[in-house]
Amino acid sequence: MIFLGPAGSQGLGNEEGLKKTSSMGLKRYEVEFTHGVNMKNEMAKKIGKLTDTLEIKPSIHAPYFINLASKEKEKIIASKKRILDSCERGHHLGVKKIVFHAGFFQGREQKEVYDMIKKELIDLQETIKSKGWLVKLAPEVTGKPSQFGSLEELMRLRKEINISYCVDFAHLYARQQGKIDYDTVLKSIPDKEFHAHFSGINYGPKGEKNHEIVNIEQFKKLAKAIEKAKKTVTIINESPNIFGDLEKMQKALTQIA
């Protein structure tokens, strides 16, 4: 089963974005804190009530300026604050998943960076628990090998510290230079239900360059694999034409049913 939703409101604002999402019959919506957490708790509560009324399950994408493996301690501290601010708003919004890009290798060995990020995630989990926030951290599959966030790394974190995750299929496509077998990918994910992103993607030898309009044939391949694997997946569309592509994705789902 697939639940579709937009990454943000495409300039409408969250309240109007949610209403448009509902008018399309969609039940998922990702609040985007792209450049910072600029939402007060009061507004988060208001939007949370609206998601309840519209029966939409929201998620949050934390700001992009996050690096839990920075060589500069103050940048790690600032990154954790951005994540925790997202978690606080998420708690008032009724969000379950807080999505973010965890960090960068910056020329270091994989084990060193993995251990650093794992340590910071554990500390964040402890803070979230102490605050009583009912949210789960969901580091995302990233689009470049220079970034921490391969599917294998996230599955290892899931196993070792019981963390959630976001499988960005466009990023995975870019990481693997367009060579992707969705059946194999889904077999490597043990959960029957998970959170994901999708869009078209422009990439080069170093991985992701930018998101593009959804390739509907690629989406159909993914959708068929999800149905075959009998998984329940929330797919947030991150293309430049969010709502227009969502309409095409909805139509595609009826064609493969």
Q: What would the pLDDT profile of 82-109 be if each residue is shown by its tens digit?
A: 999 999 999 999 999 999 999 999 999 9
Q: What is the pLDDT of residues 174-196, one digit of tens each?
A: 999 999 999 999 999 999 999 99
Q: Looking at residue 118, what is its pLDDT?
A: 98
Q: Looking at residue 256, what is its pLDDT?
A: 83
CB-side exposure of 80: number of CA atoms within 13 Å? 22
Task: Tell me what the mean pLDDT of segment 233-245 comes to.
Answer: 98
pLDDT beyond 80 at 257: no
pLDDT beyond 90 at 67: yes
Residue positions counted in the chain: 257
Q: How far apart are CA 24 and CA 5, in angstroms?
A: 10
Task: Tell me what the mean pLDDT of segment 103-117 comes to.
Answer: 96
pLDDT beyond 80 at 230: yes
Domain ranges of the chain: 2-256
Average pLDDT, the chain: 97
pLDDT beyond 90 at 241: yes
Q: How far apart are CA 249 and CA 237, in angstroms?
A: 9
pLDDT beyond 70 at 32: yes
Q: Looking at residue 203, what is its pLDDT?
A: 94
- What tokens does 72 get? 């500069």
pLDDT beyond 80 at 113: yes
- Statement: 2-256 belongs to CATH 3.20.20.150: yes
Q: Looking at residue 101, what is its pLDDT?
A: 97
pLDDT tier for residue 57 given thresholds of 50, 70 and 90? very high
Predicted TM-score (pTM) of the model is 0.96
- What are the distances in angstroms from CA 4 to CA 19, 21, 162? 15, 10, 25
Phi and psi angles of residue 233, each rounded to the nearest 5 degrees, phi first: -130, 130
pLDDT tier for residue 153 given thresholds of 50, 70 and 90? very high
CB-side exposure of 167: number of CA atoms within 13 Å? 22
